Structure 1
Amino acid sequence: MQTSENAFLDGRLTIAQPVDGYRAGVDPVFLAAAVPAHPGQSVLELGCGVGTASLCLGWRVAGLTLTGVEIQTTYADLARTNASRNGQALEVHIADLAHLPEVLRQRQFDHVIANPPYFDRSASTAAREAGRETAMGEATPLSLWVDTAARRLAPKGFASFIHRAERLPDILAAFSGRLGSVQVLPLQPRLGRDANLVLVRGRKGGRAAFRLHAPVLLHEGTHHDGDRESYTSEVRAVLRDGTALPFPV
């Protein structure tokens, strides 16, 4: 597999990714920035790909125990390599979410995070490259991602998901009866436009009321103005400096 190396967090992390296949963008960085983790806690990433979200989180919060699950062997191998190159420890298991290895089924985690495939292939066209399709086409039901996250959480642990806004009803339905204290943080591309991504957090055993936060505005202005970067200062700090998103517990 041919790979390229890409800088994340303004060069603080270097991530090797397939040239042809799924390539991480800003979404896993936003996911990592939304996790309310503290030093000494444990984190499980479902569908970790090449490790971008876990490693961004590990860079922001020192002393985490990071574990990932990835179904594609080549991506799992890249995740291990990326962790080593960036001076982090990331334990990666090659497995399907529906059949986690016994060693993981015996463990509980303070946080479970996931950036599941976005696209329901009953209403969209599959990608031609197999690795990209596995990462983007929803073969495993979203409800199974949520159920797996809830089962692997320790009591009072947090599950954090990023997904497309139109799938929010499906996520909330999957959370119901499994995770409480649900919060939603919309990501709005520009003023006057609908949010196209949502960050959703739930807590195992949580009893707080549902919270829908004001959206985070990603870009300045109402339209794209040339090739210059137009991120807001708040979002630039997340993407460049690895700061946390304003997503209170």
Structure 2
Amino acid sequence: MSAVFPDAVFPDEDLSDDLFLRGRLRLLQPLKGYRAATDAVLLAAACPARAGQSVLDLGCGAGAASLCLGVRVPGLEQAGLELQPQYVDLARRNAARNRIGLEVHQGDLARMPVALRRDFDHVIANPPWYPPGGTPSPVAARATAMQVERPVGEWVAAAARRLVPGGWLTLIAGADSLPGLLSALAPRMGSGIVLPLAAREGREALRIILRARKGGRAAFRLLAPLVIHKGDAHDGDRESYTPEVNAILREGAGLEARLG
């Protein structure tokens, strides 16, 4: 990747201290950089990890998805790969302050650090979704986190290299990336499951969660959409999450019932 990083850390005055999972997780995030929101919590909820297993987060950012997963499933062995040094520092700080074990390494998919060239039971990822030149953010750190520089197929390939036989990839991405993701699964990944994410009932799904298994042979499954908000439109300043999504975002519930 061609990103340039002028600073190794975010100054404290440029950070917010945000609550996730009804305050069970506190996350330092840049006020003007890439900020995790619902996608990270949904990704963590979709990962089928169990205590004692290992999880690698590709592009872990400030650690939101990994740390939400660590709150939901204590006793995991967790590691993260992050391109931007500023976010590597934040992820390490966030893991320490929440007392969750998360080993974070700086690097990219093409130059995986030696320490991460080992097998994992699970890989999770939230790849960038804006095409080059298409991100609306003038902030370099946010643009790098959101802007596609590697095809989604490379994320699948990197995950497949790191997974044990039978291990699971869980990924959240834009719906328009689904053709590329599905074509990248073969021949090493199978048993694909796609959960569309619709903002409201009857709306087009703009995001999807994909789960696939290394060496899996089960038939592909396209599930009914998970609807994020109640009603036809936003109702003032009040939250309008559906009960299922509210349980995920506030209580740390998982998506096992939907994804199986």
Distance 1:240 1:171 in 2: 30
Is residue 179–residue 205 contact of structure 1 (8 Å, CA) maintained in 2?
yes
Cα 1:125–1:87 shift into 2, 3 Å: closer
Distance 2:188 2:18 in 1: 37
1:20 aligns with 2:58: no
Deviation at 1:185, TM superposition (A): 0.5
1:113 to 116, 121, 124: 124
1:240 aligns with 2:260: no
Q: Alignment identity in percent? A: 55
Q: Unmatched 5+ residue regions in structure 1?
A: none
1:100-120 Cα shifts (integer Å, max 9, x gaps): 122222x10000000000112
Count of matched residue pairs: 247
1:69 aligns with 2:86: no
1:157-206 Cα shifts (integer Å, max 9, x gaps): 00000001111111111112231000001111111211111000100000
Q: Unmatched 5+ residue regions in structure 2?
A: 1-9
1:227 to 221, 237, 244: 237
Distance 1:156 1:125 in 2: 36
Alignment-derived partner of residue 105 in structure 2: 93
Secondary structure of the corresponding residue to residue 245 of structure 2: helix
Is residue 200–residue 230 contact of structure 2 (8 Å, CA) maintained in 1?
yes
Counterpart amino acid of residue 259 in structure 2:
P
1:81 to 93, 102, 109: 93
Counterpart amino acid of residue 100 in structure 1:
M
Distance 1:71 1:126 in 2: 20
Secondary structure of the corresponding residue to residue 51 of structure 2: coil
Counterpart amino acid of residue 75 in structure 1:
Y
Alignment-derived partner of residue 7 in structure 2: none
Counterpart amino acid of residue 180 in structure 1:
G
Distance 2:137 2:90 in 1: 21
Is residue 15–residue 31 contact of structure 2 (8 Å, CA) maintained in 1?
yes
Deviation at 1:225, TM superposition (A): 1.8
Secondary structure of the corresponding residue to residue 144 of structure 1: helix
Counterpart amino acid of residue 23 in structure 1:
R
TM-score (norm. length: structure 2)? 0.92
Is residue 196–residue 223 contact of structure 2 (8 Å, CA) maintained in 1?
yes
Distance 1:192 1:144 in 2: 32
Is residue 199–residue 205 contact of structure 2 (8 Å, CA) maintained in 1?
yes
Distance 1:148 1:33 in 2: 22
Q: Which runs of 4+ in 1 moved over 6 A?
A: none
1:208-245 Cα shifts (integer Å, max 9, x gaps): 00000111111111112211111011100000000002
Counterpart amino acid of residue 102 in structure 2:
L
Alignment of 1:103-182 (within 5 A): 103-105=115-117, 107-121=118-132, 124-125=134-135, 127-182=137-192
Let me know the Cα RMSD of the aligned residues. Answer: 1.1
Alignment-derived partner of residue 70 in structure 2: 58
